[in-house]
Structure 1
Amino acid sequence: MINLLSNLKIQVPDKIYIKDPESSDLGKRIIEHSILLIEEIGFDSFTFKKLGAKIGSNESSIYRYFESKHKLLLYLTSWYWAWIEYQLVFATHNMPNKEEQLFKAIEVVTMAIKEDVTFSHINEVVLNKIVVNEYSKSYLTKEVDTENKEGYFVVYKNLVKRLSDFISSVDESYEFPSSLASTIVEGSLHQHYLKSHFSSITDCDQKTTPTDFFINLTKKVLNL
């Protein structure tokens, strides 16, 4: 897998950034250390000034890549969802059984994340924690409709659409495939958050995973 995907580039909508961070060593360091710093201090406390101090670069150099920390969060979360989608495609492409394909897709979008050595400057495990804890801040804004029209969330929507198509391939008569797909993707983040912070209001624990819950839910909803 490493050899096959060694030249893979995760595609993020280009309107999110000013200069592609994948195009330079500094850009990659911005991404690498922004992930680590956001996880350490939280997105609300994160600033480009603090990031610049971490990477030994001027704050102004970061603004050459992103016009705001909001755009940086959009980049990180879009990269994450694109990475999840490529994991999903890779895991399901040779599975002829439609039900098995759907369950594998659910597993990919809900599972606990392991680091992917294909992308040495991005720690996917830490990035997943940021997505679980901070993703809603990327779209719970006054500008969400404008940003949606500009295509900022296209990667996330593509992932949900792909999962929705898997659901429909199993049961064409089911009326709510997109609602179920978005519930699985978004609900997985919530269940992982509850598991870590509010364990008394979720049944997910060390033995029962969000994957177990959402596969069980899908089986019952689709009568499988």
Structure 2
Amino acid sequence: MDKLLSSIKIEVPEGIYLKNPESSTLGKKIVENSIILIEEIGFENFNFKKLGTKIGSNESSIYRYFESKHKLLIYLSSWYWRWLEYQLVIETFSIKDAKEKVIKAVEIVTRTTQEDQNFSHINEVLLNKIIINENSKSYLTKSVDSENKEGYFLPYKRVVRRLAEIISEYNKDYEYPLSLASSITEGALHQQFMKQHFTTITNCNESVTPTQFYTHLVIKTLANDN
């Protein structure tokens, strides 16, 4: 299994980048250090000039891979959601009991990220922090509809659809599996943010996790619908 996982490649929609960063040492260095820098200073303060200084390369070399920092953020977001999708597939594939499967799927989508040694140039823990704080900036733009048509957000949508399918396996009569799945996927990020910054308006804390909350919500919702 470890050998199988180590051979998996995370595919990101091609139109997001000008040159695939996975195709070169410099490209991987750009991705690796952009994660570190964005997490450190925030997306608003991040730019290619600062990234170039950090990696010891010209700013122009970064533009050969990404036409803007917006496209780089979409790339990082897409990579994260594809990585999460492969976890959903691998970790729920052999689960036959529908209730156990939906509980596991909710856990995967809402849990605290652990570093994955299969992708050495990507720090998934730092990337998860970026997704919590910055993910909405990748699509809350005027260009969201055209970028959606180009398929830039397919990895995110695939996670939601897979989770919705698992919800429907557990309760085929539930009328709103996509809405519930997207609420869990997006809401988990929001609760992680609230836990860190707005502690007085969430029940999530050091002892109560978003996973516990959403597992309770999903099981109660689907059970009451039967």
Match in the other structure for 1:211? 211
Counterparts of 1:205 and 1:44 in 2: how far apart (Å)? Answer: 27
Aligned pairs for 1:81-100 (under 5 A) are: 81-100=81-100
Which residue identity lines up with residue 14 of structure 1 in the other structure?
E
- The Cα of 1:3 is off from its aligned counterpart by 1.9
Counterparts of 2:179 and 2:209 in 1: how far apart (Å)? Answer: 21
Counterparts of 1:69 and 1:7 in 2: how far apart (Å)? Answer: 29
The reply on whether 1:148 has 2:167 as its aligned counterpart is no
Counterparts of 1:125 and 1:98 in 2: how far apart (Å)? Answer: 29
Deviation per residue, 1:55-108 (Å, 9 max, x gap): 000000000000000000000000000000111111101101011111100000
Counterparts of 1:222 and 1:2 in 2: how far apart (Å)? Answer: 35
Match in the other structure for 1:187? 187
The reply on whether 1:5 has 2:5 as its aligned counterpart is yes
Aligned pairs, number: 224
The list of structure 1 runs, each at least 4 consecutive aligned residues, that deviate by more than 3 angstroms after superposition, is none
Which residue identity lines up with residue 66 of structure 1 in the other structure?
F
Match in the other structure for 1:200? 200
Counterparts of 1:20 and 1:125 in 2: how far apart (Å)? Answer: 23
Q: Please provide the CA RMSD for this pair.
A: 0.8
The reply on whether 1:162 has 2:167 as its aligned counterpart is no
Counterparts of 2:70 and 2:42 in 1: how far apart (Å)? Answer: 13
Which residue identity lines up with residue 44 of structure 1 in the other structure?
E
Give the TM-score normalised by structure 2: 0.98
Match in the other structure for 2:57? 57
Which residue identity lines up with residue 153 of structure 2 in the other structure?
F
Aligned pairs for 1:59-138 (under 5 A) are: 59-138=59-138
Match in the other structure for 1:176? 176
> Structure 1 stretches of 5 or more lacking a match?
none
Which residue identity lines up with residue 75 of structure 2 in the other structure?
Y
Which residue identity lines up with residue 45 of structure 1 in the other structure?
N
Counterparts of 2:48 and 2:2 in 1: how far apart (Å)? Answer: 33
The reply on whether 1:19 has 2:19 as its aligned counterpart is yes
Deviation per residue, 1:190-219 (Å, 9 max, x gap): 000000111111101111100000000001
Give the TM-score normalised by structure 1: 0.99
Counterparts of 2:8 and 2:169 in 1: how far apart (Å)? Answer: 28
Which residue identity lines up with residue 191 of structure 2 in the other structure?
Q
Match in the other structure for 1:32? 32
- The Cα of 1:220 is off from its aligned counterpart by 1.2
Counterparts of 1:5 and 1:217 in 2: how far apart (Å)? Answer: 32
Give the SS at the match of 2:169.
helix
- The Cα of 1:2 is off from its aligned counterpart by 3.2
Counterparts of 1:188 and 1:53 in 2: how far apart (Å)? Answer: 34
> Structure 2 stretches of 5 or more lacking a match?
none
